Structure 1
Amino acid sequence: MSEPKTGGCLCGAVRYAISADPAMAVNCHCKNCQRQSGSAFSTIIGIPEAALSIEGEFKTFDDKGESGEAVLRDFCGVCGSPLFSRVAVAPGLIFVKVGTLDDTDDFNPAMHLWTRSKQHWVDLAGATAFETNPS
């Protein structure tokens, strides 16, 4: 990555910089990502936790995913913007909500996860898709 990617929450209380290329870019269709995002899915990039520097304070909601595994969901305590997720099945990675990036042009989701929970009107024809997490 030539220069860090930056982003933040809606109100600007939390800002971050990413210093590494993402390991993955995906759309997650699990029910909890739908609820947290208020949309049909959550578009996220997975990066090494050490590659993320954060300014400002965020709050964390301790959740369990559809798999039953722990999911830590970080959000701005001022405006409520969802920012990051950490999942037990991917230690060392942190998942950044793509919509919080200042520039999203470089990111194209390569696959769809948890499609068994997707909204019926979402068309995944031709997409790489997994009913749960890929193994």
Structure 2
Amino acid sequence: MAGKSAIRSQIRGLGGYRKAASFHSGRLAVDEQPDSPQHTAAGISAELLIAHASQDDSMPREQITPFGKGPRRTAQVHHTSVVYPNTRDGFTMRDTPVFDQVAYDRHLTDLLGVLCRAFPSAAR
């Protein structure tokens, strides 16, 4: 599921998920769009991991900060918004020229952390 779709499903209360992760999502905090996730985050009840490339034209840094404030302000949801340094959008995809092994490994570690918190007995 695309990252933006995962976040929107949490906003709408679909699926009953306790955790959601978003990598490579763009346009999450667009002031002029009333349905932009940072405006509608009050419905989020899951822990979120939202990860961004440091160089992503669809998610410039000025959009990362407002979204990071939205869920905490409106839903008091536990979330992490992280920027992976020196990466371009698509850094986790091995078949692209922007693939970054270090960032890929970190994203797996971060994602595994979310999954272990969702399924603590499986993490043992």
TM-score band w.r.t. shorter chain: under 0.3
Larger fraction in strand: 1
Tell me the TM-score normalized by structure 2. 0.27
More helix by share: 2
